A and B are shown apart, each in its own frame.
Chain A
Amino acid sequence: MDERELRHMLEELAEEGFPEPVGLWPRLRARIEAPSRATAVGQWIRRPLVWGLALLMLAIGIGTGAYAGGLWRAFLLAREPMGFSLATPLGLQQDRLRASAWGTGLCDRLRYVGT
């Protein structure tokens, strides 16, 4: 048996299986139309569900953000040495130091005057 013979035999075998069209369209049409009706009904059910889920996710996101922000602030406060915050700009820290030194000097002078 050569290639041509195989081709002929495959054609015969295929024709034997389906000598003529079987008319798939009516069954197919029913299958195509069935899900479209189900989809229309399903959409009305699913739409509020999707919006509800989206709102829930948003609320969870906002809540988590607020909670994380609070935690961060608490962390910074816990790490703040002697009233200086890590978040305090360097210039402001120097001003506070200067003010603190000036205050100490004034107290010393007042103590001296008092004596």
Chain B
Amino acid sequence: MDPERTEQEAIRRWRAGDPEGLAVLVRLYELRALRTAYLILQDRMDAEDAVQNASLRAWIYRRRFDPQRPFWPWFLQLVIREARRIAGRHLSKSVSDTGSDADRVDMEGWKDPGHAPDLIAERKESVRALRQALQRLSPAQRTAVALRYYHSLAEKEIAEIMGCSVGAVKHYLYEARLRLRDMLDSGETQL
């Protein structure tokens, strides 16, 4: 069956109050939502909580969804709100405390035989550095970075999702780039 029709049918059923409709939508967008939340929260459990809460909100507020518009941006907005809410709760935690996931290095992605070991190690180090640098950004800055560079969204779209002005998004991105540049390398960054 055509994926677009599947989604339309799922949206129709979900809005009519059928949980199976939401099940299809959650399965469709779960991974993308989890990865987005993970970039903001840097913690698997928190990311799962954020997506689960967002899905629950999607169920509760299903009547507010405009069926003429695509589902993913609306759902992404819910995920971002939940992720920022959870991030706000953890603001008092020190950066070192959040290291349970941050210090974990998953070697699965590095088993490609095409990569030389030194290149793999260098890449691994870069990703670890990026993760640590992201942790030092504010939740709003991390959100803006994730939406701009992971989802390739325009500043206007980011502003709509974050519920702030385009000027605020520009400011978040400017500050984030500045801080990432300072933390990641010694001046060759072109961000």
A1 CA to B123 CA, complexed, in Å: 12
* Chain B contacts for A17, CB-based, 8 A: 34-35, 38-39, 42, 44, 47, 101
Say what secondary structure dominates the interface of chain B.
helix
Our count of residue pairs bridging A and B at CB distance below 8 angstroms stands at: 102
Most A C-beta atoms less than 10 A away, residue of B108, B145, B150: B150
Interface size on B, residues (CB 8 A): 44
| CB-contact partner of A16 in B31, B51, B109, under 8 A | B109
B131 at the interface (CB under 8 A from A): yes
A14 CA to B79 CA, complexed, in Å: 15
Mask, B52-96, CB within 8 Å of A = 1, is 100110010000000000000000000000000000000000000
State whether A9 and B31 are in contact (beta carbons under 8 Å apart), knowing that A3-B149, A18-B47 are contacts in the complex.
Answer: no
Q: Nearest 4 pairs between A and B by C-beta?
A: A17-B38, A14-B35, A18-B34, A10-B150
Give the A-binding residues of B (Cβ under 8 A): 19, 22-23, 26-27, 30-31, 34-36, 38-39, 42, 44, 47-48, 51-52, 55-56, 59, 101, 105-106, 108-109, 123, 126-127, 130-131, 134, 145-146, 149-150, 152, 180, 184-185, 188-191
Given contacts A1-B185, A1-B190, A1-B191, 16 further A-B contacts (CB under 8 A): A2-B190, A3-B190, A6-B191, A7-B150, A13-B130, A14-B38, A14-B39, A16-B109, A18-B47, A21-B31, A23-B30, A24-B26, A24-B30, A31-B56, A32-B56, A32-B59
